[in-house]
Structures are given as structure tokens and as C-alpha cells.
Amino acid sequence: MKNALILSALLAFGPVCFAQQTEKYPLGNYEELTDTKPHDSEEVWNKMKTPTEFSWGITDIRYKKLDVPDVKKTTRLQTKAWKGERINAQAVLWTKNDLEEATITVSELKNGSSVIPASAITTNFVRYVMTDELNKDRKGGCGHRENKAEWDSSVVADVLDIVKIQDIKARTTQPIWLNVWVPSDARAGKYKGTLTVSGKNFQAMNLQFEVNVLNRTLPAPQDWAFHLDLWQNPYSVARYYQVPLWSKEHFDAMRPIMKMLANAGQRAITTSIMHKPWAGQTEDHYDSMVTRIKKIDGTWVYDYAVFDKWVEFMMNEVGIKYLISCYTMIPWALSFDYFDQATNRVQFIEAKPGDAEYADYWGSFLKDFSRHLRAKGWFEKTAISMDERPMEAMREAIKVIKQADPEFKITLAGNYHPEIQSDLYYLSIPYGHKFPEDVKAERERKGQISTVYTCCSEAFPNTFTFSDPAEAPWTALHAIAGGYDGYLRWAVNSWTADPLRDSRFRTWAAGDTYSIYPGPRSSIRFERLVEGIQDCEKVRILRSDLKGSKLDKLNKAVSMFTPEGLSETQKSAAEMVNELNELLNSL
Amino acid sequence: MKNALILSALLAFGPVCFAQQTEKYPLGNYEELTDTKPHDSEEVWNKMKTPTEFSWGITDIRYKKLDVPDVKKTTRLQTKAWKGERINAQAVLWTKNDLEEATITVSELKNGSSVIPASAITTNFVRYVMTDELNKDRKGGCGHRENKAEWDSSVVADVLDIVKIQDIKARTTQPIWLNVWVPSDARAGKYKGTLTVSGKNFQAMNLQFEVNVLNRTLPAPQDWAFHLDLWQNPYSVARYYQVPLWSKEHFDAMRPIMKMLANAGQRAITTSIMHKPWAGQTEDHYDSMVTRIKKIDGTWVYDYAVFDKWVEFMMNEVGIKYLISCYTMIPWALSFDYFDQATNRVQFIEAKPGDAEYADYWGSFLKDFSRHLRAKGWFEKTAISMDERPMEAMREAIKVIKQADPEFKITLAGNYHPEIQSDLYYLSIPYGHKFPEDVKAERERKGQISTVYTCCSEAFPNTFTFSDPAEAPWTALHAIAGGYDGYLRWAVNSWTADPLRDSRFRTWAAGDTYSIYPGPRSSIRFERLVEGIQDCEKVRILRSDLKGSKLDKLNKAVSMFTPEGLSETQKSAAEMVNELNELLNSL
């Protein structure tokens, strides 16, 4: 068993072999940035009675790297899980000595003759990434922050590393993340196992853990009802992995990243149908997945090789196949690209919705696109997607779409506008905004999707690298508390220049642009978000199962995950999430 | 008759109507730049006995704009011409008063009942353009000259304007160019006509001229044997005329320019099969006329819409159809463009002849190009063209060409290299270089073309805007004197930023990059070059007609048009050309 784990640990080094890897873009081990914050002195550390301590911690805390952790030492952890659920736990190791070649192993989990195999368990050294802070007014994280010196920066625990052997320096804390994905066919009962840290120059240390598998089953992620939409950025992957866009190597690099998303219940494939749909706001701009050529006779030629390859990959290899979101007909900069045969150059048309040139550029494309999508059998899954723009522009764009093919689905991530909401197959509105109840019901009846999004605007809840970990599940629970069908976030892997070491970006609070790291490496934020989505599914299932006071109790608890509920309960996100968790496992 | 001419004068303003014309790129009338050189004072001008003088001059002189011309006043000009020949003459008008709305008219030419119609005669006001000078060592005009202040500049007579009504300022000289294209079916004999300048505030003035049409016939330009190759630049035309590349308006603008070339006996169509074959050395860089797309599956797709449209235009509408020169497989910067579907961008492959990537880029293209050319019926007319590059690079390029299709024709404008000359269907070598006699004979036997070129290197002979006008015909005559099949010049309309007013360029002596002006307007240089090519044709015809001492006399006279002959005769280019002209019209 242990040998098998070490083998898989070695295999985890596989990505190191990707072509052209440089220290600039590490895929294997790497040095973290230095934390320059005040921290526990050598004297404090030297007070440790045993040179190295190992204990269960909690998943709500980002343990500080250079401080002796405030942990009530426990070597036994008791958790509950539904069949098919993934549960998280966090252990903490801290040491006043250097530990060489530390590595983590787990045993299989046993309940009599029943076994949850070790392959269902993931362990990670938690790594530290540079973060910053909210805006000075504490009201959110939007706006430019090019001058890093103006922002209070520190390293925080977030990255769940895939490198399985680590030297642990003297006088540091090393959290360890544990995730158990309970097989959906596991028998109910209490399973016991052991988490072990061993190494070259120290005695192996064990922690015991127990998973009480309940007699309820969480469906597989592809069967979840929660409409999750975290926007993917294939361009970041090509840059970071130093592989040609849309090459086999590129898809090899994206596959495990996108599978993480599929396993989180991701519904939509993010596609870009023009150059820089968001004016290149991310470190790696999106480009057009549609080849658009203007011939010298003035006719347009379209080729969908990139679009098709990406969509087919996501559908067939990754398993995300509910929706194809196509961005965007109304970019922030109204400039539309095409390869111009006459000049042998990529040229841009400057035109706004309502202009004849805009209608020609998009109308011609959408007609051909509709034909292509129908031939592929994808038309029903595809939506022309917009971000919030002035109402008149959106109306003109919708007019062009409907002229090209009145059956095209349309989506918007933006404010709720009664004037156009009925045209929007999928509408995601900002945190704090609400659908009128009758409209929400009508949309539901018509099969239209109505979700909520957060971005840089929210001080709480958010998934910045400095956000409290429990804000991630709180956000998901808010979606069902607010009566939305799901949750949208505009970026899940729009990596910064040096994403493993530094989550700060030229705009917005750190971590805004990604919660999956290169490798791929998950994060405390991502795992806890998945936990929240699982909770939403549990709520959905329990609601259809329960009646009377139990149902009331559930609904009451869920309803607290709103701005109003938050101030009413006066609890922290962690407290609310933990209490709901407990409730969901007891009803 | 006069009314008809005035109508055609008005029609000549037609191009003014081209869309988006701005003062930046005048097509109609325009102000010349100021000549800051010392010139005849008001006092000198005031010595004129009659306020305005009008006389025949000669075509060997660029009359100065602000000086009283040194002209032996004559009102009667006697010239000789073959049937089908174009002959030039220059008249000079100078005035101490302002002349308003001057315009030129010509009568038809009469010989009893025989008539050469006025439509066979072109007249132009000669306009002044800014020029500079040879390099300081007087050895040529190559090299950078960004700082115009370092170069002695002045305005010189060169442009043959198409604007037919001019105000002529007091104390200026206004040369007038006359060209008679004798119809090939004209009866021999002396034809007489009148050149008239008239205007609003002065008495019309007449000059008489007589063309003695000889009983010899010059063939039409398309039947000339002289291999003329002046490289065309369609990109300059699109920029100057402010029309979209390869649009109807672009071809409308190019048609009269390219017809001037066809009428000069141009043989080759200049095509560019890549981005910046000459590293963008001209004001308007050449771009690829081939659309080259790299699909994400690694395959190449080629589209020839631009190439085909340009070649078909030149062949079918202009009448240049002997050779299609394709530049270039060995550009000065070894960087090769393609539209990359993956990145939605024009990308460049950096590869040198001999590299696998070079062979892939070109080999793949040339195979498809061969297929396309054969389908079009153009394969036999098409050549893959190079400029002088290192021998090893040329050999590797030739290898790639022959691998793609061993029957591809190959051309080079560069030094004579015995190692590769036999591979070169068309080889143009620099002025002063010679083909070994046996090689030249062998090439002729094999139907290979062997010509000579001049560029910025030559102090003499050249066609800079400050060169003596007779250097143009001297250059053509040198080609046959040196035993070459023709003449090549790398640019005929690679216009400067402001070509009508300023022929100076950031590299090379002024006028190096063009001899046809926008409008199109011909130039003293271009007309005199055509004269030289006509002389070459006359030599060819006379050589096949004459025997004995007359032939010897002809050959002796022609043989002087070499660097050696030049120093032997101690004559000026003008004297040599005029004497040969006289001889060609008397044998």
C-alpha cells in the first residue's frame, strides 16, 4: 500500500517533464516567496517541548507559516460524510528542527471488512502564496493596484501542492490537507484510517481519522442541479506550460485542470468568439476561437477548428457538456478582429451595436455559426454570451442575434434588467441583487437559468487568497438561500505572471483571477467551494425528502446564508457553514 | 479640336474624385516645395525684352525654375521618327509677369492629306520635385540619409504633370514636354503642327514642329525583344490613393500606371509571396499576395485570391504577361509569415535555408503553388525569384524549389555565380559585371534570360531625380552594348511619403525608388528611358537589316555604351545618345 502511494507520489512529478519548463513557470517543486511579516521568534519556537508536533487542525484556518500554530492538539478526527461526498480535513505539523524529505502517506480506511481504498484519498502539503488585502476602504477589491508596495502583502496558506516530498524548515508550520472522496457504493458505517508523515531524519508521526459514512448518497457531480459556471482560460495554460495553443501538449495540460472543474459540477464551456472579449484584462488575454477571414471579394469565411476542438475536448474528454458560452458580441472595447486577406494582417472593425458594420460583422458570422452548430448538434447547448453593457447596446445586439437565428440562446452576466430578462436564457446577476419572485418563477417555468455572481466587488463573501476559507462554501450556500439556480465566477484559472508564488495582480485583490493553480494544484478556496456546492446538493435532496419541522429547520438554516441572515445571526461564515454541515449530516 | 483638348484636360482632373483624397496625397494640382537655392534676381529677370518668351529647348536639360534659361530661341523644331515610335521634345516658357490659367494645346500634324491626330500627342507642364545629391564621395547613392539637412537639396524639373491648367508665376521658367506617338500606320513624310500656350491674361504663343516620319517601323511594345523589368509596387498605390488594397478602386488607380509600364515594354509582373521580401525597405512595404494559414492540426492552407487577381489584372487588363516573378524565398530578414489559426495572429517562422523548418514552410507551399500555377496555365511563365544572398543559402533554396517541383523556373537579381547560373532561368547582374561569353551564348541557346541592373550603386548611369536625363537612354543602350538581353531596376513606383513634391528618401539618393509619379504622371527620366529602349529595338532591327560597313558603323556606335566606351569617346551621355539617335534615323 505504502509503495503504491510512493509510486503515485513519484508520478505526480510527471508534469515536470513538460517541454521547455523553466524556473519562471515551475510545475514541479518551487521556492515560496519570503514572508516579511513579523512572526514568532526563535525563542518562542524553542519553547516547544517536543521538536516536532503533529495534530489535527481545522479547515477554516490558514495557518501561519512562521508562527507556532494555536492548535488544541488532537490525534483523532471524527467526520461524517454522505456516500459519494468529498470531505476535507486539515492537519498541522510544526517543528523547531529541519525535517528532510517529509512525505505523507495514508492507509486505506477500514470498517470491518469494508474498505475505502487509499486511492480515494488525496493528501497535499499546503503551500504559501503571496496575497494582498481589500481596498483601503475595506469595501471590496476592485480597481488598479499596479504599485504592489501600496498594498499590505503577506504569504498565506492556500495552494494544495502536488509535490509529495518536501523539506520542512526549522521553525515553520506545515499544514497538510486531506480529502476523502467516499465511493458512492461504500457501505454506511465508521471507517478508520491513519495519516502518516515520515521522512529521512525524523520518526514517522501518525494521526487517526474516522469517516462516518451516512446512509445518504450524493449524486455524481454531472448529476448535480447546481448551475456552476467558473470561466476557464485555456490561454493561461498554454503560456504557463509553455506549450503551443491547442496542441496535444496543451490539451494534456488542460485535461486534469478541467476535470477538477467537471468534478466540481461545472456546467458551461467558456469560449471566446472574438479577440479580447474583455479587453485583455487578464494576464493572458482570450483570443478568438473562431477563424474569421475577410476575402478580397468582401465575403467572410469562418473556420471552427479551434472552437470545435476545445468544445469536443470539454464535452468528450472532460465531461462538461451542458452549455457552450460564447463571448462576446459586446466587448468592453468595441473593436472586432478578422484576418484580412488583402493586407495579410489581422485587422479590426470599430463598430458599435446599432451600426450597419456591426450588424454585418456579427450577422454574417451568426448565420454561419448557427449552421455550424446545428450541423454539430450543439445548437441547443450554445448561447451567445454578454457581460453587462448599456441597455441600448444589449438591445441592439439581441436584435442582430435574433435576425441571424431567432432560436439562438442568449446569456448575460450583469444587472437584472426587466426590459431584456425574458430574452436571456441564462442570466447571472450580482451578489446582493434579486430576481423579482414572479420573474424567477416564470424563468424557471420556461427553463431559463437564473444565477448569482461575485467578483472583485465583494469584501464578503469572496475567494481572494486572503478571504476566510469558509467564505467559499458560504458563497455557494448563498446561491440557494437567495433562490438562485447556481453561481458564476468570471475566472478560475486566469493565472497571474507567477501564480504559484504570487497571487497578486495588476487589478483587483489577490486571488480574484484564479482558484486552481498550475500543476494542477487545488486550493483551500477551491476545495471549500466544492464543499459548499455539495452542501447545496444535500439541501436540494433533503428538501425533497423531508417534511414538517425537519424541513422547516433546514429551510430556516439555509435562509440565513444571505446578507440579511448574516447580520441576523451575528455568526462568522465558518460558524454558519459548520452548523449547516452538522445539520445536513443529522437530518 | 481645341475644345476636345480642353475636355480631355478637364477629364484629367478625374482622379481628384478618388475617395478620401487629402492634401497629403494630392492627385490634382499641388504646390511645389520652395527652392531655397540662389537664383536669378529680379533685376536679371527684368532685363527680358518681351514679358514672356517661348522657345524650343532640348530634352537633355532640366531647366531651372527660377533662372532665365540659357536657350537659343527657336520657334521651329525638326525631328525624325520611325512609324510606331514615340519621340520627345521640350519647349521652354519663361516670364517676368504672372501668367494666369496657362494651358497647352497642340494641333494635329499634317502632311498634305495625311494626318497624325492630336490624340497621338501628349503635352505636359514639367513640374519641379525636391532632390538631393550623390554620396559625399560621389561614388553612388547608397546608404542611409535620414537627416535631410546633411544633403544638398534643390528642386529639379522631372514630373510631367497631368494638370493641364497652370498659373505661372512671374520670374519663373516653365518647361513643357511634348511627346508624339507616331501611329504605326502613318505614311512616311514630313508632318507639321503647332504647339500653343494660351491663357487668361496673355497673348497665345505658338511653336512650330515637324516630325519627319521615316520609312521604318518600330514594333508595338509587346513585341519588343528587350527584356525590361521594372518592379511594381501595388502597396504604394493603395496608400497614396487612399483606397483599400485589391479593391476595384485600387485596380482603377493602378491601371494607367501599369499601362505606362506595358507601353515601355515591361515583361515581368512583380509579385510578393511573403511578408516584407525586402525587409520593408520601401516607404510602403510589400506584403504577401498569398494567404498562408497554419491550421491547428499543423496542415497548411493556401489561398491565391490576391495573387490571382493581381496577375490576371496585369495579364488581361494591362497586357504584361511574359513572366511572373515571385519574391522571395530568401528575404533579407529570414522571417516567414503565416496566419496562425491557434493564436489568431500573424506569426513568423525564423528559419534559414538548410533548416528543416525552412524546407517545410517553403516545400509545402511550393508544391501547392506548382499545382495552382499549372491549373491556371501559368506555370511556364512563373519564376521563384531571389535577390543576391550568400551562395550556400541560394543553393539550399534552389534545392527546396527543385524538390517541390524540378520544373520551377528560378530567377536572381545579383552577382554572377558560375556555381548556380545554369539553374537560373533569368539572371540579372549588376552594372559593370559581365557574363562570360560562352556562358551567355549557352544561356541564350537554352532560352535563359541574362540582363543587367542598376540601383543606388551607380553614380553614372542612373535615374536619380538629379541624374542627367540622357543617362536613362544611355542605361538602356548599355544593356545591348554589353550583350545583355535587357535591363532590370528594382523600383518604378515605390513612392516616397510625398512623391510629387519630394523625391528624397530615408535611404539612397533621391528618385532611386520611382520614376513614375502618382496620377499617374510620367517623368523626364521615364520618357527618356523609353526612348533608350526604343533605340535598342531600332538597333536590333537594323542589325538584322544592315550589312557591311553600315552594320559595322552601327555596331561600333553601339559598342561605345559601356564604361570603356564612355572613357574612350570622352563624350557626355547626352552627346552619345543624340549621335546614336541620329545614326539610327539615317541608316
Which cell is B224 given?
A: 519588343
Spatial separation of the C-alpha atoms in residues A472 and A478, rounded to whole Å = 10
In chain A, % of residues over pLDDT 70: 96
Question: Is there a contact between A305 and B287 if contact means CB atoms under 8 Å apart?
Answer: no
**How many CB atoms neighbour CB A548 within 10 A?**
7
Give contacts of B295 with chain A, Cβ < 8 Å.
303, 305
* CA–CA dist B583, B573 (Å, integer): 15
Chain B residues close to A295, C-beta within 8 Å: 303, 305
**What mean pLDDT do residues B85-105 have?**
98
* Cell (9 digits) for A158: 492556500
How many Cβ atoms are within 10 Å of A271's Cβ, its own excluded?
A: 23
Contact A305 B341 (CB under 8 A): yes
User: Measured between CA atoms, how close is B352 to chain A, in angstroms?
Assistant: 22
Nearest of A452, A423, A528, A557 to residue A59 by alpha carbon = A528
Report pLDDT for A23.
Answer: 78
Report the DSSP beta bridge partners of residue B387.
B413
A4 has pLDDT over 90? no
Instruction: Mark out the alpha helices in A131-247 (DSSP H runs).
Output: 234-241
CA distance B291 to A438: 55
- The CATH homologous superfamily of the domain defined by B35-218: Immunoglobulins (2.60.40.10)
Cβ contacts of A131 within 8 Å, gap of 6 or more: A153, A154, A155, A156, A158, A464, A465, A466, A503, A504, A510, A511
Report pLDDT for B23. 78
Interface probe for B, chosen from A295, A296, A338 (most Cβ of B below 10 Å), is: A296
- From B246's Cα to the closest Cα of chain A, the distance in A is 6
Q: Which whole number is the average pLDDT over B98-114?
A: 97
Q: Which residues of A touch B349 (CB under 8 A)?
A: none
pLDDT at B7 over 60: no
Q: Which residue of A has its CA nearest to B341?
A: A291
- Across the interface, of B295, B306, B343, the residue whose CB is closest to A342 is B306
pLDDT at position B267 is: 98
Mean pLDDT, residues B344-362: 96
What residue spans in chain B does CATH classification 2.60.40.10 cover? 35-218
CA distance A343 to chain B (A): 7
Backbone angles phi, psi at A166, to 5 degrees: -135, 140
C-alpha cell at B177: 514636354
For B222-534, give the CATH class.
alpha beta
- For residue B306, the chain A residues in CB contact (below 8 A) are 296, 341-342, 344
DSSP percent split of chain A into helix, strand, coil, nearest 5: 30, 25, 40
Q: Where in chain B is the domain with CATH 3.20.20?
A: 222-534
| Per-residue confidence (pLDDT) for residue B5, from 0 to 100 | 38
* Among chain B residues, CA nearest to A273: B344
* B139-156 mean pLDDT: 94
Q: Percentages helix, strand, coil for chain B, rounded to the nearest 5?
A: 30, 25, 40
Q: Testing the interface with A: which of B246, B344, B348, B349 to mutate, by most A Cβ within 10 A?
A: B344
CB of A278 closer than 8 Å to CB of A331: yes
C-alpha angle with apex A128: A125 to A132, nearest 5 degrees?
155
User: How much is the pTM?
Assistant: 0.91
Q: Is the pLDDT of residue B10 over 60?
A: no
pLDDT of A42 over the 60 cut: yes
Instruction: Give the closest of A287, A295, A341 to B344, CB-based.
Output: A287
A20 CB neighbour count, 10 Å cutoff: 9
C-alpha distances out from residue A290 to A302, A327, A458, Å:
7, 11, 34
Which residues of chain B lie closer than 8 angstroms to A275, CB-CB?
344
Residue B418 has phi, psi (to 5 degrees) of -60, -30
At CA B134, angle to CA B131 and CA B136, rounded to 5? 125
Quick check: B337 and A343 CB within 8 A? Answer: no
pLDDT at A3 over 70: no
Contact list, B293 vs chain A (CB under 8 Å): 291, 293
Kindly determine whether residue B288 and residue A344, on different chains, have CB atoms separated by under 8 Å. Answer: yes
Supply the pLDDT for residue B332.
87
- Res. B470 pLDDT band, cuts 50 70 90: very high
All 3 cell numbers of residue A393?
447596446
Strand A205-217 versus strand A189-198 pairing type: antiparallel
Task: Give chain B's largest Cα–Cα span.
Answer: 83
CB atoms A344 and B341 under 8 Å = no
Contact call for A345 and B346, based on CB within 8 A:
yes
- Is B346 close to A343, i.e. CB distance below 8 A? no
Mutate to test the interface with A, among B236, B296, B309, B337 (most CBs of A within 10 A): B296
- Give the three-state DSSP class for A397: helix
- For residue A257, the model assigns a pLDDT of 98
Among A344, A349, A357, the residue to mutate for chain B (most B Cβ within 10 A): A344
Residue-wise pLDDT for A501-556, tens only, equals 999 999 999 999 999 999 999 999 999 999 999 999 999 999 999 999 999 999 99
Q: What is the dihedral of CA A400, A404, A407, A408, to 10 degrees?
A: -60
Q: How far apart are the first and last CA of chain A?
A: 36
Residue B12 has pLDDT above 60, yes or no: no
DSSP state of B125: E
| Interface contact B287-A343, CB threshold 8 A | yes
Q: pLDDT at position A2, please?
A: 38
A345–B247 C-beta distance less than 8 A: no
List, for residues A303-327, the tens digit of each pLDDT value. 999 999 999 999 999 999 999 999 9
Which residues in B have their CB inside 8 Å of a CB on A?
244-247, 275, 287-288, 291, 293, 295-297, 303, 305-306, 309, 337, 339, 341-346
* pLDDT given at position A138: 94
CA distance A424 to chain B (A): 29
Of B247, B337, B341, the CB nearest to A303: B341
Torsion of CA A332, A334, A339, A341, to 10 degrees: -170
Rounded mean pLDDT, A415-430: 97
Chain A residues in contact with B343 by the CB 8 A cut-off are 245, 287
Contact A492, A517 (CB under 8 A): no
Residue A332 is predicted with a pLDDT of: 87
What is the helix (H) or strand (E) element at residue B194, kind and residue range? strand B189-198
Q: How far is A287 from chain B (nearest CA, A)?
A: 7
Chain-chain contact of B345 with A342 (C-beta, under 8 angstroms): no
Q: Where are the alpha helices (DSSP H) in B264-328?
A: 305-312
Closest to A306 (Cβ–Cβ): which among B244, B247, B341? B341
CA–CA gap between residue A554 and residue A539 (Å, rounded): 8
- pLDDT tens-place string over residues B300-333: 999 999 999 999 999 999 999 999 999 999 998 9
Closest CA to A451 of A414, A417, A419, A422: A414
Q: Rounded distance, CA A412 to CA A426, Å?
A: 6
Amino acid occupying residue B587: L
As a whole number, mean pLDDT of residues B218-242 equals 98
